[in-house]
Chain A
């Protein structure tokens, strides 16, 4: 058996196992939740609905069956690609996730790229010039923001830039009265600025601090010393020798942070009324929409798993030693 096939088998085995565990765990937790979906659905209409009608709703949602029965029914359908019907959106779960994810994708992608690029640049700058003013500024920035909750930062940014200064929009993904299809690229970008900035801030701090550490190590390494001895400048060493070495951990970290990005977007979307997957997750949780919540959980598991897988694959691309090592092992 060659390495590629065994790698694929190994990964897909782990993938299947992860998804199964996530599904079981999520379903158990949701079943134990004290939320009664019918009460959440009816809300203020509770008293105007007779018990007979309540029974009709319970039957429509299949809540009259026992929890294990519901789980196996759901799992069977899920295997054939049918994640069921969302209770609160009255639409197939896959459709809800698809629609919402496209909106979130803009936000997450921009935040991910900004935090990755900016974090890496700041980390390299700080690590190269350790102890300098720029290093201290970057560290101050990173420590402060790494300990800032993203929703709080979102509120602060919102109240400064949108409410007081009126520079940025208050909510939503497009201007009021204009549909996403008619909105120009600039309008979309304009509505993206604050949420993306909020979401990327946390990522920047992480990447910057890690890259800085690795950069300091690289600048103090033997090969860096050798290059200095040959008359290379600090910038030269950083650019020609250290950069490639620090890129690897940064890339790993960046792809591994997809999970955090997902979690962060739940909070950021809530603050900015950005109608993406994060907002749908909160709705599903609050109102006990089991099919949707399970669907989103599975989706996020796939999302995070793919992130880690890409990081694994990129190792070989960035670091010839890993590639050659695995070829030699064969």
Chain B
């Protein structure tokens, strides 16, 4: 038959072959010039790239530049600013900026723009908290005065995190068409999909190696699949996937202060509630012996190995590895003997032989609550419950689906929380007695007058460097503090390593200790990244 001559494979097979060839021809060329870098590191800001609403708090603001920034070892270095100093009464910052900075549209960046950015952000009602700023005033072309309502040594962090926007072209449209003085400028943003950036020709700093950046905003699974298919050069992966291998890529784990810990309610249960009706207090965890024993018995190293696949480090405080961390926070843990002794000395004994210790008829029992959709917190809670069972403390582990539910329970139950910030204000909010029960602050109602005194001194310190000492003393001053030697209101468990796969050809330099938030922070030094053949 003539038919079989035309289609030697049979018509159906021929059709299939044609479709297949069509697909092959359609597929995009995988080889991109090496001045283009493709990243899948999450971090898409749904509301756009407007620093006055909070863009650029972590990692590189990319399109904008900041007055100051943190280098690889988190020291504060100058960026736009050439000089910055605080007045004697710690109420006025005077900042001088460089005079050669230009926005990506070619217009010069002046003191007016800086003052406008800060004043606008203070009013915007976004993620930038400038409550302590009274107002920013431009003096001439390059000098700005920042008047504070009250002394606030953490205000310097706003110089680090707030990108400067141009007064002339900032408006409702800005978030989608950002113009700034950063190393890159936006080419296009297809929301929910990708963002393309190219080098800003007017950038005052060293020209970045990569001329073009493509950020894919895909979810975790898709990004991982795209990496396996060779379509991206940098991909963020959850710790559980970091044990896999991707051809052409190497694992790049980054230390972080993205920590997880158990928060204990400190007050006894006297039937009091918050104004929202949430019960306050827990009779078991209000006993310092319970909290100290738990801190002592927990084997943090095996949590790192078991839960994080080794991608993490034991956490002994809320700010491990940051400039204001107190080395005295380290304790010797995984020690059931000492833990049992602490309990016994405080009068906790197992009298009825059920394996759980009691004191005055009260069993050492409580509930550990975690947000149900966070698997790492769930595993940590279960592992901890197992470890403390050893010393006769019984913990029931429960997952809750909504944060609002957790907010109702967090003053009377043990909660697995995760924090970690490059701004020490976090410490203030977590441990300050007068903030107890407001928002998410100090949910355990911890209060220690000495700690409060150090925290206040740290906030009102005359300089950032001076404040560091007080932050450390609040943790432990040799006698008291909020670490595990002191009142132990928390049992910090682990710091996560943030895991990325990067192309074997890519040199990303030294990555910062990253804050809470796994993904975009790796871009902090993106203008220094290089391609090596």
Q: In whole angstroms, what is the CA distance A35 to B402 when docked?
A: 7
Chain A: which residue is nearest B216 at the CB level? Answer: A176
Residue B214 at the A interface, CB < 8 A?
yes
Q: Which of A45, A48, A89 contacts B47 (CB under 8 A)?
A: A89
Q: Contact check: which of B32, B193, B402 meets A273 at CB < 8 Å?
A: B193
B131 touches A53 (CB 8 A): yes
Q: Mark B29-40, 1 if CB is under 8 A from A, else 0.
A: 000100010100
Answer yes or no: B11 CB below 8 A from chain A CBs.
no
A167 and B23 contact, CB distance less than 8 A: yes
Query: Could you tell me which residues of chain B, from 78 to 134, have a CB within 8 Å of some CB in chain A?
Result: 123-127, 129, 131
Candidate in B50, B194, B229 with the most chain A CB atoms within 10 angstroms: B194
Most chain B CB neighbours (cut-off 10 Å) among A45, A169, A170, A172: A170
- Name the distance in Å between A92's Cβ and chain B's nearest Cβ: 9
Q: Given A49-B127, A89-B47, A168-B23, A179 and B190 touching (CB < 8 A)?
A: yes
Asked whether B349 is an interface residue with its Cβ less than 8 Å from the other chain, the reply is: no
CA distance A187 to B438 in the complex (A): 52
- CA gap between A57 and B129 in the complex, in Å: 10
Contact B440–A275 (Cβ < 8 Å): no
Query: How distant is the Cα of A47 from the Cα of B54 in the complex, in angstroms?
Result: 14
From the candidates B32, B36, B404, B439, name the one contacting A35 in the complex (CB within 8 A): B404
- Selected from B225, B425, B439, the residue in CB contact (under 8 A) with A46 is B439
Contact of B196 among A46, A167, A179, A187 (CB under 8 A): A179
What's the Cα separation between A167 and B440 when bound, in Å?
48
A74 contacts partner chain B, Cβ-Cβ < 8 Å: no
Contacts A48-B426, A275-B193: A171 and B216 contacting too (C-beta < 8 A)? yes
Interface bracket on B: 35 or more
B302 surroundings in chain A (CB, below 8 A)? none
Residues of A within 8 Å of B404, CB to CB, are 34-36, 39
Q: Evaluate contact between B403 and A167: CB separation under 8 angstroms.
A: no
Residue B522 lies at the interface, judged by CB distance under 8 Å to chain A? no
Q: Is A190 an interface residue (CB 8 A)?
A: yes
Are A50's CB and B125's CB within 8 A? no
Chain A residues with CB under 8 A of B38:
176-177
Query: Interface 1/0s, chain A 170-202, versus B by CB < 8 A?
Result: 111111111111000011011001000000000
Most buried by A among B23, B50, B124: B23
Find chain A residues with CB under 8 A from B196 CB.
Answer: 177, 179
Q: How far is the CB of A121 from chain B (nearest CB, A)?
A: 16
A312 within 8 A of B: no
B155-205 residues with Cβ-Cβ distance < 8 A to A are 175-176, 187-188, 190-194, 196
Is B218 in contact with chain A by the CB < 8 A criterion? yes
Q: Which positions 33-62 of chain A face chain B at CB distance < 8 Å?
A: 34-36, 39, 41-42, 44-54, 56-57, 59-61
Instruction: Kindly list chain A residues whose C-beta atoms are within 8 Å of the C-beta of B36.
Output: 177
In angstroms, Cα B218 to Cα A54, docked, is 30
Given the complex, which residues of B lie within 8 Å of A236, measured CB to CB?
none
Complex contact A186–B26 (CB within 8 A):
yes
Per-position contact with B for A74-95: 1 when CB-CB < 8 Å, else 0? 0000000000000011110000
**Given A34-B405, A167-B20, A172-B194: A48 in contact with B429 (beta carbons within 8 A):** yes
Within the complex, the shortest CB–CB distance from A167 to chain B, in Å, comes to: 5
Alpha-carbon distance between A163 and B229 when the two chains are bound, in angstroms: 7
By a CB distance below 8 angstroms, the chain B residues around A174 are 190, 193-194
Chain B residues whose CB sits within 8 angstroms of the CB of A179 once the complex forms:
187-188, 190, 196
Given contacts A57-B126, A273-B193, contact A48 B23 (CB under 8 A): no
Query: Which of B24, B129, B190 touches A48 (beta carbons < 8 Å)?
Result: B129
**Residue in chain B with minimal CB distance to A178:** B28
Contact between B131 and A175, CB atoms less than 8 A apart: no
Nearest chain B CB to A83 CB, angstrom units: 16
Given contacts A59-B125, A177-B36, whether A172 and B54 have CB atoms under 8 Å apart is: no
Is the C-beta of B480 less than 8 angstroms from some C-beta in chain A? no
Q: How far is the CA of A46 from the CA of B425 in the complex (A)?
A: 12
C-alpha spacing A57/B130, complex, angstroms: 13
Closest to B48 in A: A90
Partner of A47, one of B26, B228, B421: B421
Q: Is A280 engaged at the interface, CB distance under 8 Å to the other chain?
A: yes
List, in ascending order, chain A residues with CB within 8 A of B190's CB. 173-174, 179-180, 275
State whether B46 touches A88 (Cβ < 8 A): yes
- Chain B neighbourhood of A178, CB < 8 A: 28
Q: Is the CB of B225 within 8 A of A44?
A: no
Does B232 have its Cβ within 8 Å of any Cβ on chain A? yes
**Which residues of B lie under 8 Å from residue A49 when comparing CB positions?**
127, 129, 439
Asked whether A39 and B193 contact (CB < 8 A) given A170-B222, A190-B26, the answer is no
Complex A-B, nearest 10 residue pairs according to Cβ-Cβ distance, in ascending order: A275-B192, A60-B125, A90-B47, A175-B28, A56-B125, A190-B26, A53-B129, A177-B214, A179-B188, A275-B193
Besides the known contacts A50-B129, A180-B190, A275-B191, 12 further A-B residue pairs in the complex with CB atoms under 8 A apart: A48-B423, A49-B129, A57-B126, A88-B47, A91-B48, A171-B216, A173-B193, A175-B28, A176-B194, A177-B32, A273-B218, A273-B222
**CB pairs A–B below 8 angstroms (29 shown):** A34-B402, A36-B404, A39-B407, A46-B440, A47-B440, A48-B129, A48-B425, A52-B131, A56-B125, A57-B126, A60-B124, A89-B46, A89-B48, A90-B50, A90-B175, A163-B229, A167-B23, A171-B216, A174-B194, A176-B214, A176-B226, A177-B38, A177-B196, A177-B212, A178-B28, A186-B26, A187-B26, A190-B28, A193-B23
- A residues sitting closer than 8 Å to B (CB atoms) are 34-36, 39, 41-42, 44-54, 56-57, 59-61, 88-91, 99-100, 158, 162-163, 166-181, 186-187, 189-190, 193, 272-273, 275, 279-280, 283
